Amino acid sequence: MQLKQLIAIIVVSVFVFACKEDNSAEETYNKEIAEIAEEEKILEFGFDLKQFEFKRDTVKKGDTFGIILERNNVGYPEIYQIAEKAKDTFDIATKLQVGKPYTLLFSKENANDSIQKPTTFIYQQNLEDYVVIDFKDSIQAYTSTKPITYVEKTATGVIENNISQTLEEKGLSQMLAFKMADDIYAWTIDFRRLQPGDRFKVIYTDKYINDSIYAGVHDVKAAYFEHNGDSLYAFRFQTDSIKGIVDYFNEDAKNLRRAFLKMPVKFGRLSSRYNLNRRIAYYGYKVRPHKGTDFAASVGTPIMATANGTVIESTRRGGNGKYVKIRHNDTYTTQYLHMSKQAVKKGQFVKQGDIIGYVGMTGNTGGPHVCYRFWKNGKQVDPFKQKLPEAKPISDSLKVKYLDYIKPIKQQLDNIFFLEGEPKDMENTITEDQITDIQ
């Protein structure tokens, strides 16, 4: 009997132990399933979309907020209440734009109802910013921004024909060419006359939304260009934190730009020069001086302030059409004519490169262009014949800080080598909160 009892005890013990092992395995399995389920969440706009039925669409011609909700079984009395409650945050009744995307969320609890009504309307103003109007229980409206990530990269290139072709062959953004040609080296390198064998290195930051949507080049941190035997360094540095002024300086803290941009549009061509002896067939070949410089561009092309200054006029008048006039200092004033619309108001301070309006055909004009007028000491002159001043130099108080700041960046540039199979990219991911300008 004792042997039988011992065997029985052993069998029961083994069974109990096995059950414990099975339970442990089951707990591990359940934990893994929970983790997988967690990973499968569709997080967007601050919601887990897997918890909802949802519908995506874009605003069509003729759509209004009311029409969209009415089409989705929301009655007009409720629509009016929602729009009134939300308008202090975002006037959804008047500001929907054709082509912009929106998302409707529906409760899964009512998924089987024959008439299903949305509980939330989400409108995307652009890739980053969106408006949420939640009317499930009470009406709430707020604006928010999608998570933004910045990835620092490096690239190199050797010019064979032009910089655009070099970037295209490497699969790099053409925005790098625009930034180097317009923002950094506009006054030190003529990019139309690059030579085969010229080469460059660049440290730049790409911008991503939700870690996956590429939103273009954010900025260029530093660059190095070899051209005509010269080695040209450029480092981005903020000189005025209040006005947000950022310039590019070389390794000796000399500003690389002039006080004025060469032209007020990035995508345009010089179509008519300043000419005091101009004769026009339409007016019987009489002399009609042209005191402006015309840049032809498509309607809607952004027009930039060519220098820092204060807007002294933003109006419409006679043959000038819609225009903006900027006083830069006691010596220089500029004017930009024939806009389709202005983007600034009188009294507003603008920085070089800020968008002040858009190319149009208002006033006396035979085609879309911006007429750029330039005053020196109260007299209209040809901007291309002026010896324009250099941009404001870095202050003595900031120079030491600048030189310390660029030391590791210059070392990073110098350690980037021109190799076959370029570029050798280095990526460093940082979040929006970690992006800080040098004060």
pLDDT, tens digit (0-9, with 9 covering 90-100), for 95-112: 899 999 999 999 887 656
| Nearest partner of 405 among 263, 275, 221, 261, judged by Cα | 221
Higher pLDDT, 360 or 263: 360
The per-residue DSSP string of 193-262 comes to G--TT-EEEEEEEEEEETTTEEEEEEEEEEEEEEETTEEEEEEEEEEETTTTEEEEE-TTS-B-SBSS-S
pLDDT digits (tens, 9 = 90+) for 24-65: 544 554 454 444 444 556 788 989 888 899 999 999 999 999
3-state secondary structure of 72: coil
Question: What pLDDT shows up at residue 263?
Answer: 87
CA distance 175 to 71: 41
Report domain 44-145's class: alpha beta
CA distance 311 to 334: 10
Q: What is the pTM of this model?
A: 0.62
Q: Is the pLDDT of residue 214 over 80?
A: yes
Question: What pLDDT shows up at residue 16?
Answer: 42
Preceding amide of 118 cis, omega within 30: no
CA distance 405 to 6: 80
Kind of pairing between the strands at 286-287 and 309-317: unpaired
Token pair belonging to 235 = 């480092």
Please indicate whether the domains covering 149-257+392-434 and 269-385 agree at the CATH topology level: no
Q: Is the pLDDT of residue 282 over 90?
A: no
3-state secondary structure of 376: strand
| Annotated domain spans of the chain | 44-145, 149-257+392-434, 269-385
pLDDT digits (tens, 9 = 90+) for 116-173: 899 999 999 998 899 999 998 889 999 999 989 999 999 999 998 888 888 888 888 8
Neighbours of 14 (CB within 10 A): 10
Question: What pLDDT shows up at residue 256?
Answer: 87
CA distance 351 to 308: 4
Handedness of CA 412, 413, 419, 424 (dihedral sign): positive
Q: Is the pLDDT of residue 22 over 50?
A: no
The per-residue DSSP string of 122-182 comes to EEESSSSEEEEEE-SSS-EEEEEE--EEEEEEEEEEE-SS-HHHHHHHTT--THHHHIIII
The domain 269-385 is classified under which CATH number: 1.10.260.40, 2.70.70.10, 3.20.20.100, 3.50.50.100? 2.70.70.10
User: Can you name the CATH fold of 149-257+392-434?
Assistant: Nuclear Transport Factor 2; Chain: A, (3.10.450)
- % of the chain exceeding 90 in pLDDT: 48
